[in-house]
Amino acid sequence: MKVLVAMSGGVDSSVAAALLQRDGHEVVGVTMKLWGGPSDAGCCSVSDVDDARRVADHLDIDHHTFDFGADFARHVVDPYVGDHQAGRTPNPCIACNRHLKFDRLMERAAALGFEAVATGHHARVTTHADGTRRVARGADRAKDQSYVLHVLDQGALARVRFPVGDRTKAEVRNLARALGLRTADKPDSQDVCFVSATGGRRAFLEPRVALTPGRVVDGDGLVVGRVEAVELVTVGQRRGLGLAGGGEARFAVHADPVAATVTVGSAAELLTAEQAVGGVVWAAGPCSGATLVQCSAHGVPRPGDLVLGGTASDCAGEVTVRWHRPERRVAPGQSVVFYEGDEVVGGGTALSPPAAGGPAPR
């Protein structure tokens, strides 16, 4: 099989390429050039491209670089900025997986005659008796990346390969050492590639959008603090709200950049009985009833029930999660992923709670 391997310059994709080559496939490596701005974190640095190329040389496979910078700006960076403007908490890595690694890259691979695309994600693909496929958790639960892959449809699942998904991270590194790969002990990439570790979100957003100073109010509308930028506040945030010390801990329960207001409340006020989820993508058709719900990349799954149609709409792409017990609300914009055992059945984006007498804001 002719396989195009997305090589980020990390150990996982390096070993993925080596395993496919060992199994007799015709392997070609590619590194996607996504972000051309300053970066001191993530997976888009010049050194990462160099590491990927050197690993390909070591394995004696061809290596190419695809410039998808314009697609990355349109599908990842611009929505990231727009979400902050709207008071949502974006998840750019999922947008990158959806639009770049498993849309744009697969399109290019097909045009070049590749039968499959492989990545170094810690996940698996399971196939059911009826031929449908699902993303499943990787063998290493601590490194599992099924959450960020919930956007894959049946077409993508039929063509994607995750060669390291049935191995632990320790096993992957040991194999890389045995193969003499330069990436064997390279640290994992943890951060958003276009947001520098030194400047953070504020330094990235300030040249691109006007940040709004705002007031912090309690449930009665009494001003209790100030923030320099409402757009940088996330639901559930406790620090950086300009609150006086002492007393009961208070958290951001709502951020409204238009009104330049952040509302705070107690930990109990963060709890909710249900969560509206929009833009839902299903692995193999809509599901309802009992499910496990994961609300962050490495969060603990929470039990709930899926109700199709949402709380304020009959839209097919909207569902409501009714928690089995009150749970902390999810920041609007974050991905909410549904599991049946270890398998992803679908997922979407957390919506804001509906306003009194009105539908949930998009």
Residues involved in catalysis: 96, 193
**292: which strand partners?**
303, 339
Q: Are strands 62-67 and 26-33 parallel, antiparallel or unpaired?
A: parallel
Q: Are strands 2-6 and 26-33 parallel, antiparallel or unpaired?
A: parallel
Q: Are strands 271-282 and 343-350 parallel, antiparallel or unpaired?
A: antiparallel
Tokens of 62: 């061809």
Whole-number Å distance between alpha carbons of 352 and 49: 39
Residues 6+ apart with CB under 8 A from 100: 32, 34, 68, 71, 72, 75, 76
**Which parts of 192-250 are beta strand (E)?**
214-217, 223-227
Whole-number Å distance between alpha carbons of 161 and 353: 38
Place of tokens 């990462």: 48
Whole-number Å distance between alpha carbons of 81 and 206: 10
Quick one: CA torsion of 11, 12, 18, 20, rounded to 10 degrees? -170
Whole-number Å distance between alpha carbons of 281 and 65: 30
Tokens of 288: 């309802």
Radius of gyration of the chain, Cα coordinates, nearest whole angstrom: 22
**Sign of the alpha-carbon torsion through 302, 303, 305, 308:** positive
SS (H, E, C) 91-146: CHHHHHHHHHHHHHHHHHHHHCCCCEEECCCCEEEEECCCCCEEEEECCCHHHCCH
